[in-house]
Amino acid sequence: MMEVCGSTNVSLREFGCEQTLLSRPDGSASFVQGDTSVIAAVYGPAEVKVSKEIYDRATLEVLIQPKVGLPSVRERSQEQCVRETCEASLLLTLHPRSSLTLVLQLIHDDGSRLACFLNAACMALMDAGLPMSCLFCGVTCAINADSEIITDPTAAQEKESRALMTFAIDSKEQRVMMSYTKGSFSVHELQQCIAVSQKASENIFQFYRDSVRRRYSKNL
Amino acid sequence: MPTDTKRVRGPEVSQSPTLFLCKHAAVLPSHGPRADGRQRDQVDVRPVFVRCGLVSQAKGSAYIEAGNTKLMCCVYGPREMERKDETDMKCGKLTTDMRFAPFSCLERGSWIQGSQDKDLSLMLHESLQPAVCLHKYPRSQIEVNVMVLENSGSVLAHAVTCASLALADAGIEILNQISGLQSDGEMTEETLTAGVRTCIEGCYKLYPVIQQALTKAVRRAAPPPSES
Amino acid sequence: MAAGFKIAEPLEYHRSFLKENCRPDGRELSEFRTTTLNIGSISTADGSALVKVGNTTVMCGIKVELTNPLVEAPGKGFIVPNVDLPPLCSSRFRPGPPGEQAQAASQFIADVIESSEVIQTEDLCIERGKLCWVLYCDMMCVDYDGNVLDACIIALLAALKNTKLPEVTINKDTGSTRTSFCVFDDSILIVDPTAEEEGLSTSHLTVVTDEKERLCVVHKPGGTPLSAEKLQECIGRATARQREIQKLVDKVVHSVKTAQ
């Protein structure tokens, strides 16, 4: 019933992922989407500062480091998006009065960076072995001037687009956990983009499964 | 100059258009009534409007408007001392913070607190300290936050009045209601004493207004028991 | 008794109300608090507005200044929105530089301005490559009782309408309004949450629509997942709210104009 703008297959760029690539953090992962690349590291559960202590659950802190310079307001707002998504999927109540820190370092930005942050974060949390209620993945859709929906756009495609949307989709029921949009669009277009993202999320979750399987087949 | 990474940044430099207006500097008249028609050398205070208990989240709050000067004060506490190492077993701690909204002055102020704000905070602290019964609140802190929404003179004086009103609204024990008036300029000893005297007289004029506002706030908070 | 229950078991307290389709302050689930608007109250600002949504109070002041446009964008001016949540408005904020919430709010407002094209930055150019206007829009929260983003947008919009540039007046507005929702226990939707409700809910959603009923921003910073039907419901409510606010702003702007 949902016509996906001409093409039924969702095109995503080449994905790549490596887990446990850093030795110091409790969990780490790098995630590559085309030319966009992010490294994520998770520390914790560890001791928490008294001022940040929450008595019935763990305190999650997300830090996003840009490629150059200091993090600015834009990074702060993306941190908020990633943090609240992670908070919803992690079972934080299992670690009361402790701290979790997630550091996301942008290596190269070629579009869909928020989606890449989310994917790297999920892989790193998995690697750290933290209990989660579901997995999540990030998908970015761009609507270009001809009203075509492009999934996983590059920086150039993002620049040309009329609207840009990033969703976080959960693995259980494939519902929208987070949405971040830019530009103006109609309700119908929003619904279409969500449908496309849900379709794309299947591919990403399959990729998650494959890369984790590959990793453990080596180790065991 | 360090860049502010915690706010949306604009261009490096910008100038207010008022700088480019060709206007001759306003000379204050040295005789006769003042620019806004008030009398010189007399206790001629601008009309004052005060309200208590406007901010729902604060323990006590007050708003004061005198002429075009508008400010707001909120009191939080007494609550546990934030920095445990500074805890005083006998006496509470009073903290004051006074800030100007960026749009409060003719020239746009920066968000970062300047030295002027800090000076004013300190002066406010000094004027409030003797009046608050801090010995009644051991090991706790009381926070006084003042925000200047519009500045058209005598900010400190009205801040003091407003703060004492908010303290009273918060139910914190104070020895006396205090109110402030300000007069500026270079002074010799004689004019100074005269100035102080006028200020004190002016303050007496303010008291009834303050008392009225307070009773109003208390009435609203605790309506008289109705016969049922 | 009720007060004790509220403090000991805040979540249960709210649930017992929601079961009956109402909220502790007597509102229905999809009912907004009364919104009042006052514009032009600050004479030192070039445009100002004070908005009250229930107890939440936000003041927006706009200062206009002159500057040189960027070399990369010679034909564009600047809009610099910043949200401040000072320690004055709630005990949850500390003095010092803005915290994460204030920064995320500033970025959100900047995104809304960009997406909704409330003001075209091209219109702020005076002489291409030489001189342009910069609008510093500072939003100051005076009383924090939930739903600040809504109040900020209304204040910004009203203040922009109130702003007059020395030579040109801004009237390129395509008014946009946002609506906040909270999701309770993963299934119950409420609008216009208070600070208490915000703290207890599991997810927030913000929808911004413009005059032509196009969506500008659908912002949901994480939290529990939401199904498509619920989303549709939110959008429907947001467009209705947009019309209400538009009417309010127009009425106030008109009344100020006639008073002058």
Rounded Cα gap, residues A2 and B54, in angstroms: 52
Mean pLDDT for C224-248 is 77
Q: Which residue of B has its CA nearest to A69?
A: B5
Task: Report whether A26 contacts A42 (CB < 8 A).
Answer: yes
| Paired tokens of C170 | 């801004």
Question: What confidence tens digit (pLDDT) does each residue in B123-160 have?
Answer: 888 888 888 888 888 888 888 999 988 888 778 888 88
Residue A101 lies in a domain: yes
Mean pLDDT for C36-51 is 86
Report chain C residues whose CB lies below 8 A from the CB of B55: 57, 88-89, 142-143
- Residue A147's CATH number: 3.30.230.70
Helix (H, G, I), strand (E, B) or coil at C178: strand
Report chain B residues whose CB lies below 8 A from the CB of C82: 7-8, 102, 111
Rounded Cα gap, residues B217 and B202, in angstroms: 24
Interface contact B97-C95, CB threshold 8 A: yes
The nearest CA of chain B is from the CA of C227 a distance in Å of 33
Residues of chain A with pLDDT below 70 are 1-9, 219-220
Interface contact A165-C218, CB threshold 8 A: yes
Write down the CATH superfamily of domain C27-259: GHMP Kinase, N-terminal domain (3.30.230.70)
Question: What confidence tens digit (pLDDT) does each residue in C109-168 have?
Answer: 888 888 877 777 777 787 888 888 888 889 999 888 888 888 888 888 888 877 777 655
* DSSP 8-state secondary structure symbol assigned to residue C169: B
pLDDT at A6: 38
Report chain C residues whose CB lies below 8 A from the CB of A173: 225, 227
Pick B111's closest partner by Cβ from C70, C82, C195.
Answer: C82
Burial B209-224 (b: 16+ CB within 10 A, else e): bbeebbeebeeeeeee
Residue A6 lies in a domain: no
* DSSP 8-state secondary structure symbol assigned to residue C5: H
Rounded to whole angstroms, what are the CA distances from B47 to B39, B44, B66, B67, B119?
Answer: 14, 9, 6, 6, 27
Burial C212-226 (b: 16+ CB within 10 A, else e): eebbbbbbbbbbbbb
Residues 6+ apart with CB under 8 A from A164: A140, A141, A142, A143, A153, A158, A181, A182, A183
pTM of the model: 0.83
Interface contact A80-C104, CB threshold 8 A: yes
Residue A4 lies in a domain: no
Residue A5 lies in a domain: no
Using the Cβ of B8 and the Cβ atoms of chain A, whether some distance falls under 8 Å is answered with yes
- Which of 59-78 (A) contact B at CB < 8 A? 70-73, 76
Residue A156 lies in a domain: yes
Using the Cβ of C187 and the Cβ atoms of chain A, whether some distance falls under 8 Å is answered with no
Rounded Cα gap, residues C163 and C249, in angstroms: 14
Report the residue of C41, C57, C67, C88 to disrupt the B interface, i.e. the one with the largest count of B CBs within 10 Å. C88
Report chain A residues whose CB lies below 8 A from the CB of C116: 184
Select from C148, C220, C208 the least CA-distant residue to C174. Answer: C208
Pick C106's closest partner by Cβ from B8, B99, B143.
Answer: B8
Residue A85 has a CB neighbour count (10 Å cut-off) of 26
Residues 6+ apart with CB under 8 A from A46: A98, A99, A100, A101
Residues 6+ apart with CB under 8 A from B192: none
Residue A3 lies in a domain: no
Rounded Cα gap, residues A77 and C100, in angstroms: 8
Report chain B residues whose CB lies below 8 A from the CB of A72: 5-6, 9
Pick C65's closest partner by Cβ from B6, B15, B105.
Answer: B15
- If one counts the domains in chain A, the total is 1
Report chain C residues whose CB lies below 8 A from the CB of A141: none
Fold of the B44-182+201-218 domain: Ribosomal Protein S5; domain 2 (3.30.230)
B167-171, C29-33, C102-106: which is most confident: C102-106
| Paired tokens of B34 | 């003042």
| Paired tokens of A126 | 């998995």
Q: Partners for A (CB, 8 Å, 3+ pairs)?
A: B, C
pLDDT at A132: 93
The nearest CA of chain C is from the CA of B197 a distance in Å of 31
pLDDT at A8: 42
Report chain A residues whose CB lies below 8 A from the CB of B4: none
| Paired tokens of A94 | 């299992």
Question: What confidence tens digit (pLDDT) does each residue in C217-233 have?
Answer: 778 776 777 777 777 77
**Number of residues in chain B:** 228
Quote the domain boundaries for residue A23: 15-219
